[in-house]
Amino acid sequence: MRTRAPDIYAAGDCTDQPQFVYVVAAAGTRAAINMTGGDAALDLTTLPRVIFTDPQVATVGYSEQEAHHEGIETESRLLSLDNVPRALVNFDTRGFIQMVAEAGTGRLLGVQAVAAVAGELIQAAALAIHHRMTVSDLSSQLFPYLTMVEGLKLAAQTFSKDVRRLSCCAG
């Protein structure tokens, strides 16, 4: 957060950081630590982003294109929302959940979701990426049935099975 002028620190929309209020708050805290002699960095690698359209657009981590740009080989799956029970119950199956994983290891790299409440499920994906979970780890977690976030588990399961053939509850 230090600018080119050594005694001047900056946070927020006047910088080139992503313009989200939670980024601003985190950067401000770290700027205060650094200007009082500390050494705090702002890690934006698992920054969740939400666009409050209808349906919402929410992303975290790498898209396929971004991963390839970094030289990372990927495997990805796209789950349309007509495979997610909560979306069916809500009569709103507009959208999808796309999952990007590292080829070979299956480590989750990114999630892009378009859904009525995509903003509500993206933080679970951010935690999974932060804790270096694989799609296999994610698909063996317990997710509550009839929630939208269950779509993350179903999307993870598409790496190893055809979720349209599951009877119930993404088991």
Ligand X SMILES: Cc1cc2nc3c(=O)[nH]c(=O)nc-3n(C[C@H](O)[C@H](O)[C@H](O)COP(=O)(O)OP(=O)(O)OC[C@H]3O[C@@H](n4cnc5c(N)ncnc54)[C@H](O)[C@@H]3O)c2cc1C
Tell me the closest approach of the beta carbon of residue 19 to ligand X, in angstroms: 4
Report the length, in residues, of the chain.
171
CA–CA gap between residue 125 and residue 112 (Å, rounded): 10
140 belongs to the binding site for ligand X (CB under 6 A)? no
One of 24, 47, 57, 72 touching ligand X (CB under 6 A)? 24
Stretch that binds ligand X, among 13-21, 73-81, 89-97, 104-112 (CB under 6 A): 13-21
Contact 29, 35 (CB under 8 A): no
CA–CA gap between residue 55 and residue 113 (Å, rounded): 10
One of 19, 45, 140, 141 touching ligand X (CB under 6 A)? 19
20 belongs to the binding site for ligand X (CB under 6 A)? yes
Q: Report the residue number, 13 or 43, with the smaller CB distance to ligand X.
A: 13
Concatenating the DSSP letter of every residue in 79-122 gives EEGGG-HHHHHTT----EEEEEEETTT-BEEEEEEEETTHHHHH
119 belongs to the binding site for ligand X (CB under 6 A)? no
12 belongs to the binding site for ligand X (CB under 6 A)? yes
- Furthest C-alpha separation in the chain: 62
State the number of CA atoms in the 13 A half-sphere of 96 facing the CB: 9
Tell me the closest approach of the beta carbon of residue 52 to ligand X, in angstroms: 6
Q: Report the residue number, 27 or 149, with the smaller CB distance to ligand X.
A: 27
One of 3, 22, 127, 142 touching ligand X (CB under 6 A)? 22
Q: Which residues bind ligand X (CB under 6 A)?
A: 12-13, 19-22, 24, 52
